[in-house]
């Protein structure tokens, strides 16, 4: 079976499992798990921030970040494509009592020069504009990345206007590898960020929120009340520490395979558009006469899993468990399909 639905489908490597098995653990609700403490320190240092918090998922990290940074009746500026808007079932309203102010720019990006005009004036009947929320890379936009200059301008615009800036960096290391900026660069252009271990980095579980000491202390309280306080989860944190050391540079191979696959996909007339992948995600628009479901089903008969993404779109994601041999097999199957 070849699984291109997501970069979340990977299994830990033997070396990662060995790191997990030998991890020292303790009760993290008491703050006593050495492997979690080490991972949190590692993550904070990487991004040049004071502290970090290990969480079960990217969604929980996102909801914690919104809760910590906002008060009920606040508004958050973000792009329509953002995960918090599209795929978290209005959790922002449930947990934080806030609303989102959506932008619609190209590639799922918020632009610095639109910030000032999106801020509400201070009237009792308008939500208070509190922060800007970016997604880097942007999943729904096909893994698009902000440039460092775009991020710097956005952070400057936020600071000029008294807004906080948070980055949902579920796939921040894909952006870092593709764009050539560093974790320290990213730490300097946001107040806080999240990143996932369980996507391109190939871990079974886990995400981290990184920020100032006071923000992370508050985040820890919110994580607990959301049921995210884990006990001997150092086994999982050890996978994270391993991945941060061994699985970042190799993301370039995922990006390369995505480009090769995207180039090949362009030749089939029943695929109307193929995104140009900057990172590890390819978006296809299937001709409505064929239909995305028919294409996904045809691939599945050849044991290749892909996923529909609405409006006859299909998403393909390359990852740690997608090898060159698998890429060759996918290319052969594509050549054999007839519609
Ligand atoms: C950009 C982005 N943020 C957050 C998440 C949520 O992560 P999780 O599935 O770990 O809850 C995802 C998941 O795909 C994502 O793509």
Each of the 339 residues of the chain gets a pLDDT tens digit; together they read 999 999 999 999 999 999 999 999 999 999 999 999 999 999 999 999 999 999 999 999 999 999 999 999 999 999 999 999 999 999 999 999 999 999 999 999 999 999 999 999 999 999 999 999 999 999 999 999 999 999 999 999 999 999 999 999 999 999 999 999 999 999 999 999 999 999 999 999 999 999 999 999 999 999 999 999 999 999 999 999 999 999 999 999 999 999 999 999 999 999 999 999 999 999 999 999 999 999 999 999 999 999 999 989 999 999 999 999 999 999 999 999 998
In the reported structure, the alpha carbon of residue 87 is separated from the centroid of ligand 1 by a whole-number distance in angstroms of 8
| CA dist., res. 208 & res. 304, Å (int) | 31
Predicted pLDDT of residue 263: 98
Mean pLDDT for all residues in the chain: 98
Same structural domain, 211 and 129:
yes
Same domain, 169 and 155: yes
In a domain, 7, yes or no: no
Which atom of ligand 1 lies nearest, measured to the CA of 88?
6
Which ligand 1 atom is nearest residue 6's CA? 14
Q: Are strands 192-196 and 99-103 parallel, antiparallel or unpaired?
A: unpaired
Domain boundary among 214, 229, 246: 246
Last residue of a domain, one of 193, 225, 246: 246
What are 117-171's pLDDT values in tens digits? 999 999 999 999 999 999 999 999 999 999 999 999 999 999 999 999 999 999 9
Kindly report the backbone phi and psi dihedral angles of residue 142, in degrees, each rounded to the nearest multiple of 5, phi listed first.
80, 35
Residue 298 is predicted with a pLDDT of: 97
List, in sequence order, every residue forming a beta bridge with 271; answer none if it has no partner.
Answer: 286
CATH of the domain at 327: 3.90.1150.10
Q: Are residues 168 and 291 in the same domain?
A: no
Q: Which atom of ligand 1 is nearest to the CA of 207?
A: 10
**Residue-range definition of the domain harbouring residue 310:** 250-336
Query: Three-state DSSP class for 192?
Result: strand
Structurally, the chain folds into a number of domains equal to 2
Residues 114 and 191 in one domain: yes
Q: How far is the CA of 86 from the centre of ligand 1 (A)?
A: 11
- Two tokens, residue 69: 């940074």
184: CA distance to ligand 1 center in Å? 22
Distance CA 317, CA 186 (A): 24
Rounded Cα distance, 201 and 240, in Å? 8
- For ligand 1, the distance from its centroid to the CA atom of residue 46, given in whole angstroms, is 21
Which protein residue's CA is at the shortest distance from atom 7 of ligand 1? 58
Gap between the Cα atoms of 66 and 316, Å rounded: 29
User: How much distance in Å is there from the Cα of 270 to the middle of ligand 1?
Assistant: 30
Report how far ligand 1's centroid is from the alpha carbon of 163 (Å): 24
Q: Could you give the maximum distance between any two Cα atoms of the chain, in Å? A: 63
Ligand 1 environment, Cβ below 6 A: 57-59, 62, 83, 135, 139, 168, 170, 196, 198, 207
Alpha helices in 251-308 (DSSP H): 251-265, 292-301
Write the CATH number for 62.
3.40.640.10
Q: Which atom of ligand 1 is nearest to the CA of 57?
A: 10
CA atoms within 13 A on the CB side of 277: 27
Element (H, E) at 99: strand 99-103
């Amino acid at each position: 079976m070849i699984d291109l639905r997501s970069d979340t489908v990977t299994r830990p490597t033997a070396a990662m499992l060995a790191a997990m098995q030998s991890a020292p653990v303790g009760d993290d609700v008491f703050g006593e798990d050495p492997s979690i403490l080490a991972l949190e320190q590692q993550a904070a240092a990487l991004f040049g921030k004071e502290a970090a918090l290990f969480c079960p998922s990217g969604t929980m990290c996102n909801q914690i970040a919104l809760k910590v940074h906002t008060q009920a009746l606040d508004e958050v500026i973000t792009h329509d494509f953002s995960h918090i808007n599209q795929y978290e079932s209005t959790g922002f309203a449930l947990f934080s009592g806030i609303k989102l102010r959506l932008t619609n720019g190209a590639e799922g990006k918020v632009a610095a020069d639109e910030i000032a005009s999106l801020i509400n004036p201070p009237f009792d009947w308008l939500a208070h504009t509190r922060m800007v929320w970016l997604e880097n890379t942007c999943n729904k936009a096909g893994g698009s990345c902000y440039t460092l200059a775009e991020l710097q301008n956005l952070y400057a615009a936020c600071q000029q206007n008294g807004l906080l800036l948070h980055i949902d960096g579920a796939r921040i290391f894909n952006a870092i590898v593709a764009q050539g900026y560093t974790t320290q660069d990213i730490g300097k252009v946001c107040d806080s960020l999240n990143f996932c271990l369980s996507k391109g980095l190939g871990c079974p579980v886990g995400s981290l929120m990184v920020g100032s000491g006071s923000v992370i202390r508050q985040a820890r309280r919110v994580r607990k009340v959301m049921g995210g306080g884990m006990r001997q989860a150092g086994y999982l944190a050890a996978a994270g520490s391993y991945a941060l050391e061994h699985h970042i540079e190799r993301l370039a191979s995922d990006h390369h395979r995505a480009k090769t696959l995207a180039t090949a996909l362009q030749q089939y007339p029943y695929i109307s558009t193929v995104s140009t992948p900057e990172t590890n995600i390819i978006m296809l628009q299937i001709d409505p006469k064929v239909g995305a479901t028919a294409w996904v089903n045809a691939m599945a008969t050849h044991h290749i899993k892909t996923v529909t993404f609405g409006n006859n779109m299909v998403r393909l994601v390359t990852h740690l468990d997608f090898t060159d041999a698998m890429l060759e097999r996918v290319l052969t199957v594509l050549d054999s399909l007839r519609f």
